[in-house]
Amino acid sequence: MSFSNRSLIIITLVLSFFSFLSLLPLLIMFLTSFTEAGQLDLSPFAFFYSPWSWKNYAFLLRTTPIIQWFLNSLLLAFVVTFFHLWLDTLAGYCLAHGELPYKNLFFWLILLTMMIPGQVLMVPLYILMTKLNLVGSLLGVILPTTCSPFGIFMMRQYILGLPKSLVESARIDGASEWQIFYNIIVPLCAPMLATLGIFIFLGNWNSFLWPLVILNDPLSFTLPVGLAGLQGKELLDFGIVLSGASLGTIPMLLVFLLFSRWFLKSLTQGAVKE
């Protein structure tokens, strides 16, 4: 597609306006975290006129093991994302271009598991975790979140869109299934892996209920779980809520930048001449 400069500018302006609206909550959160909690009692929009202050952050750093929580969250999110992507792509390849027996049966089985609300699975999973003696450890949080039907479905749809002739010619050339997977499928999936990676990373970075249920020791808490424990029953402590939440967005921004490098223009171009 070719666009004249004028239409590109118009598009940019329109998008800027909407993205401003969309970014507003994030901006408000950031600014509010630099506002003293006392000011917030007066108005939720106190950040607008009250002076900058580091007090909320200083308070959290001084009185809580927030760095430990932060590192736990980071570890959790990275480990889960890595294995999640690997397993999803593996299953996605088998279900798309692999010669998997009962392909359709497996595919529908996986699709159907997405349709059960997660709330019912909590108790059975907890029982499983007690049997594995994993209650209270980060691994107990990681293992059940390491694979998801959503991710498999997503990768399967994407891989189906790649030319099957690539895989077939590699097979004829004598490549093993693992070689095909690592050397052909994974590189071609880069844009989708980046997308899915962001979903998984951010989803796990923010996840609350499952880590809360599994973790028992304050030093093994993740960021959302730790911050929730600082709240009194009746009234929210806005300073803590917002500075904690802002602290939580920093790695999100970083990861987004990191993954963006893989949002490349398609690698398939010119790979196959049909």
Which residues between 63 and 122 bind another protein (CB under 8 A)? Answer: 63-64, 86-88, 90-91, 93-94, 98-102, 106, 109-117, 119-122
Give the pair of three-digit tokens for residue 194: 């980046």
192 binds another protein (CB under 8 A): yes
Contacts of 36 (CB under 8 A, 6+ apart): 50, 53, 55, 56, 239
- The smaller minimum CB distance to another protein, of residues 27 and 71, is found at 27
CB of 51 to another protein, least distance (A): 20
235 binds another protein (CB under 8 A): yes
Judged by CB under 8 A, the stretch of 46-54, 68-76, 190-198 that binds another protein is 190-198
Q: How far is CA 242 from CA 20, 166, 220, 274, in A?
A: 20, 50, 22, 55
127 binds another protein (CB under 8 A): yes
Contact pick of 71, 160, 250, 254 for another protein (by CB under 8 A): 160
Contact pick of 2, 49, 51, 174 for another protein (by CB under 8 A): 2
Give the pair of three-digit tokens for residue 90: 């593996």
CB of 245 to another protein, least distance (A): 4
213 binds another protein (CB under 8 A): yes
Give the pair of three-digit tokens for residue 209: 């209920």
Q: At what angle do helices 55-63 and 238-260 cross, to 10 degrees?
A: 90
CB of 12 to another protein, least distance (A): 6
Map residues 252-271 to x or -, x wherever contact with another protein holds by CB under 8 A: xx--xx--x--xxxx-xxx-
126 binds another protein (CB under 8 A): yes
Q: Which of 187, 195, 186, 189 is nearest to 260 (CA)?
A: 195
Q: Which of 5, 126, 141, 122 is nearest to 72 (CA)?
A: 141
Q: How far is CA 262 from CA 5, 189, 267, in A?
A: 27, 10, 11
